[in-house]
């Protein structure tokens, strides 16, 4: 019920650790996420509930889980969204390393009882925005100063058991951790340049919303800030998925 990101032989599939990656579009491309994880020796199994694919009922054979972003909302009524949010309970129960990005982070927050909604004034985060690490976040790693966003809803009311790692001006929850193994990032560090350009073109109407930056700022910001963001992301993935015993 999954699509392999690559086509390793049977021996490789048995010997290499596997990561379950949930995607919310037809494409199976995972951007820098896949590049960095495969570089570290992982095989990616792609699941797309939006196409009717079922999520695994056990994670026994997985070294971790990633849920990526999407243009839909955790507040949408489609059955697969609610099922996916509920499925995160299995990930937490089995205590697998978990990373939620944008929508994936919001799904984790919703599963934990958090609230996900738009701002009252309609302000969005679409473009490059400053990131401020909390003392708890700084204790774990060095964070980038600017990060890339493409969302109009944010996370509020994190449960007290969750730790806020980074915050921002427009939306207060930018990164958080639940327990040792579950991480949520509101921003996108996985985008390649091609992914960013495609998103800006296909979702051009988002660039007209309050607080959104023009297309030129997206691409100019990438030239200025993306190198630091990419380095941070690779380091963060190593910590989250304990690559070469580098974990926090």
Evaluate whether residue 150 is within a structural domain.
yes
> pLDDT category, 237, cuts 50, 70, 90?
very high
What average pLDDT does this structure show over 154-165? Answer: 94
Evaluate whether residue 247 is within a structural domain.
no
What average pLDDT does this structure show over 159-186? Answer: 96
Evaluate whether residue 246 is within a structural domain.
no
What average pLDDT does this structure show over 135-162? Answer: 96
Q: Which residues contact 12 (CB under 8 A, 6 or more apart)?
A: 43
Provide the residue range defining the domain that includes 84: 3-240
DSSP 74: T
pLDDT at 1 over 60: no
**What is the model's pLDDT at position 247?**
63
What average pLDDT does this structure show over 53-73? Answer: 96
Question: What distance in Å separates the CA atoms of residue 68 and residue 107, rounded to the nearest whole number?
Answer: 10
Q: Is the CB of residue 111 less than 8 Å from the CB of residue 87?
A: no
Please state the pTM of the whole predicted model. 0.92
Residue 78 maps to which CATH number? 3.40.50.880
Evaluate whether residue 46 is within a structural domain.
yes
Evaluate whether residue 245 is within a structural domain.
no
**What is the model's pLDDT at position 5?**
43
The total domain count for the chain is 1
Which one, of 82, 50, 44, lies nearest residue 63 by Cα?
44
Evaluate whether residue 70 is within a structural domain.
yes
Which one, of 166, 175, 180, lies nearest residue 138 by Cα?
166
> pLDDT category, 39, cuts 50, 70, 90?
very high
The tens digit of pLDDT for each residue in 114-131 reads 999 999 999 999 999 999
- Share of residues in the chain with pLDDT > 90 (%): 88
């Amino acid at each position: 019920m999954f699509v392999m990101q690559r086509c390793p032989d049977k021996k490789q599939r048995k010997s290499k650790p596997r990561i379950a990656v949930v995607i919310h579009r037809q494409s199976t491309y995972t951007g820098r996420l896949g590049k960095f994880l495969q570089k570290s020796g992982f095989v990616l199994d792609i699941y797309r509930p939006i196409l009717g694919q079922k999520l695994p009922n056990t994670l026994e054979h997985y070294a971790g889980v990633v849920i990526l972003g999407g243009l839909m909302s955790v507040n949408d009524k489609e059955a697969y969204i609610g099922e996916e949010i509920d499925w995160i309970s299995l990930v937490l129960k089995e205590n697998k390393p978990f990373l939620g990005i944008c929508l994936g982070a919001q799904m984790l927050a919703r599963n934990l009882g958090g609230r996900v909604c738009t701002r009252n004034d309609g302000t969005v985060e679409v473009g490059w925005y400053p990131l401020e690490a909390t003392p708890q976040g700084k204790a774990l790693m060095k964070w980038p100063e600017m990060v890339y966003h493409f969302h109009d809803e944010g996370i509020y009311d994190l449960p007290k058991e969750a730790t806020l790692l980074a915050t921002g001006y427009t939306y207060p929850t930018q990164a958080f951790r639940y327990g040792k193994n579950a991480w949520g990032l509101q921003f996108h560090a996985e985008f390649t340049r091609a992914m960013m350009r495609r998103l800006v073109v296909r979702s051009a109407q988002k660039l007209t919303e309050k607080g959104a930056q023009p297309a030129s700022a997206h691409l100019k910001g990438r030239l200025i800030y993306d190198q630091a963001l990419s380095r941070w992301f690779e380091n963060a993935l190593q910590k989250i998925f304990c690559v070469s015993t580098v974990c926090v």
